[in-house]
Amino acid sequence: MELSHIDGSGRAVMVDVSGKRPVRRRAVASGRIGLRPETVGMLREGRLEKGDAIACARTAGIMAAKRTAGLIPLCHPLPVDHVAVDCSLQEEGVEVRASVTTTARTGVEMEALTAVSVALLTLYDMCKAVDGSMVMGEIRLLEKTKEEAD
């Protein structure tokens, strides 16, 4: 298996996508944060001292998707056409799902994964004063699509 970000000398390099044609691309990622039932109740009732953690996490995820190239060294800066971050409150925590769309020469998988990760970190930050048992995980790419060129 050949790694696209490693050159013949074993050095990390940015992939040259200049020869590719821009096409519409979409990626969907998800992740979870496990919370105590009391913390879930506080989220549901809006009783966290720091405010609306769900709204804040959603906004943070959107902002993170737009800044991915500044965080991940070999990512291409992409024109992000749309980002949606949904936080679903469940009995045992919160599931975060992010969808990112672009028309570009390369995909938006890293943008979707970054959106999920930062949304989860935001939830962690906003809940840390009341829940020391939080666990983030199961961050994964669920889907990536690319419209074929005409």
Per-residue pLDDT of the chain (150 residues; tens, 9 = 90+): 666 666 667 777 788 888 899 999 999 999 999 999 999 999 999 999 899 999 999 999 999 999 999 999 899 999 999 999 999 999 999 999 999 999 999 999 999 999 999 999 999 999 999 999 999 999 999 999 999 755
At the top level of CATH, the class of 29-145 is alpha beta
Radius of gyration of the chain (CA): 17
**From the centroid of its chain, how far is CA 122?**
12
Q: Kindly provide the residue ranges of all beta strands, DSSP E only, lying in 17-126, ordered along the sequence.
A: 23-34, 80-90, 93-104
Phi/psi for 111 (5° steps) reads -65, -45
Beta bridge partners of 98: 29, 85
Question: What is the identity of the amino acid at 43?
Answer: L
Residues carrying an active site annotation: 125
pLDDT at 19: 85
Quickly count: other Cβ atoms within 10 Å of residue 73's Cβ: 9
The predicted model scores a pTM of 0.92
